[in-house]
Amino acid sequence: MTALTLSTAAASGLRADAIVVGVAKGPKGPVVAPGAEAVDKAYDGGLAGILETLGASGSEGEVTKLPAPSGFKTPVVLAVGLGAAPEEDDGFDAEALRRAAGAAARALAGSKKAAFALPVTDAADAGAVAEGALLGAYSFDAYKDTVGAAKNGKGPLGEVTLLGGKPRDAAYKAAVARATALTDELNRARDLVNTPPNDLNPESFAAVATTAGKEHGIKVQVFDEKALVKGGFGGILGVGAGSAAGPRLVKLSYTSSKAKKHLAFVGKGITYDSGGISLKPAGHNETMKCDMAGAAAVFAAVVTAARLGLDVNVTGWLALAENMPSGSATRPGDVLRMYSGKTVEVLNTDAEGRLVLADALWKASEEKPDAIVDVATLTGAMVLALGNRTFGVMANDDAFRASIVDAAEEVGEESWPMPLPEHLRKGMDSPTADIANMGERMGGGLVAGLFLREFVGEGITWAHVDIAGPAFNEAGPFGYTPKGGTGSAVRTLVRLAELTAAGDLG
């Protein structure tokens, strides 16, 4: 795990493997960003010219390495692109700082220590740089020869020293503490998403949650197969029926004595999705270990809320199952009786996420929280609509939907508000059951949202976040986002909890 410290030390006197400076894209070439004044001075004010000669432009994420100037105790200067230079008197926005810090941290893999001299004008900037660096340094090495990787200079960056910070200032210390707690748990969510399904099943995921609960004062209740049968959780049991690894429903409860509001987060946790009897074709199942990313996000958000001591009650529900084909698996045409009492005709066993979520949503509704947010890698239709970096947000309340989109934008996650068109509901009418788990093919992501709405308690504000696109990055890394599990929606959920604790959300 990468360590992080604040420092007021002079750049020239700090011992590290590299010093990171920012460079922006100006109208006439690269411009050295604030924070790098001492470094630029050591180059006799010619750092921008040197970088331009080396081909740097200041474009976002661009990385250029050059020898450190004479007298510096660091051998390398790494210039990272911040994108377009802001207008005079404006600073760089938080997301630009996060992405630049992340790109730099990733480029410094194998280094023991790096000093970051990026633009930091206040505690919020310090928090953004810290967050980006700690997320960018992430590496999933659980199944690799880490000793060999370290020897070959391929391990993650060991330590980040943030220059320009104020180690004794309460606001700076709080910003860095928040960034550390948030990134620790977001990176744990990434680990869970990246863990192979032969090692992560519903039971082992529940064990991880139980251990974390004991560590951070979170009450954890695990509903095993016997409890699920007794409770009548037909959706979760139906999805898990084909697997040798039994399903689980996990409840995590963080409470604050000062809380005035209660949020419930519900996460889809399909630890492997083969599609069941409606089997996925080759080429569509290789990354289906990531189908529990919603549950990982909910788990991480609840633990982060506890670590930050937020004045809001947060309950997380992890609906965990493995969707496999076998002689005991649910078949297309079967009818499941859900926890709510409604019956569902299963037309496609690969539309299983909505079935486990439906049970968890109704269970969460029983506690009458002020709002429920479910998070799921639910539909390929949402990926077709919004691409691989943007999640869709649907809700039964337009203002709440807007609040989630605004919170996502604030923390640097791309989202888009989506509708719940009433005319699509008719497509789920079933001649056999109360509702079918499939409807019209066109607008499939919206149909899934309408299905979930059927299982939200009356009068409860609810939103559905479909992270099917951004949850697992199959392309190359960018900014602070690695290849593989990304931790999508964790920061948005944490921000919602913070806003609710502050009284700024409903």
Q: Which residues are catalytic?
A: 280, 354
Spatial contact of 4 and 129, defined as CB atoms under 8 Å apart: no
Q: Where are the alpha helices (DSSP H) in 327-479?
A: 353-365, 380-386, 398-411, 444-453
Count the residues in the chain: 506
Taking alpha carbons only, the member of 332, 329, 331, 313 closest to residue 321 is: 329
Return the SS3 of 83: strand
Residue 231 host element (H or E): helix 225-231
For residues 31 and 15, give the distance between their C-alpha atoms in angstroms, rounded to a whole number. Answer: 26
Contact 206, 296 (CB under 8 A): no
Residue 28 exposed, middle or buried by CB count within 10 Å (0-12, 13-18, 19+): exposed
Strand ranges (DSSP E) for 287-380? 313-323, 335-337, 343-345, 371-376
Chain CA centroid to CA 67, Å: 36
Contacts for 452 with CB less than 8 Å, ≥ 6 apart: 354, 357, 358, 361, 374, 464
The owner of tokens 């001649």 is 431
Pair of tokens at residue 458: 């009356």
Phi and psi at 30, nearest 5°, equal -65, 145
Q: Are 248 and 206 in contact (CB under 8 A)?
A: yes
Burial 295-321 (b: 16+ CB within 10 A, else e): bbbbbbbbbbbbbbebbbbbbbbbbbb
CA distance 192 to 498: 24
How far apart CA 64 and CA 36 sit, in angstroms, is 14
Tokens describing residue 455: 């299982």
Q: How far is CA 296 from the centre of its chain?
A: 8
Distance CA 497, CA 262 (A): 9
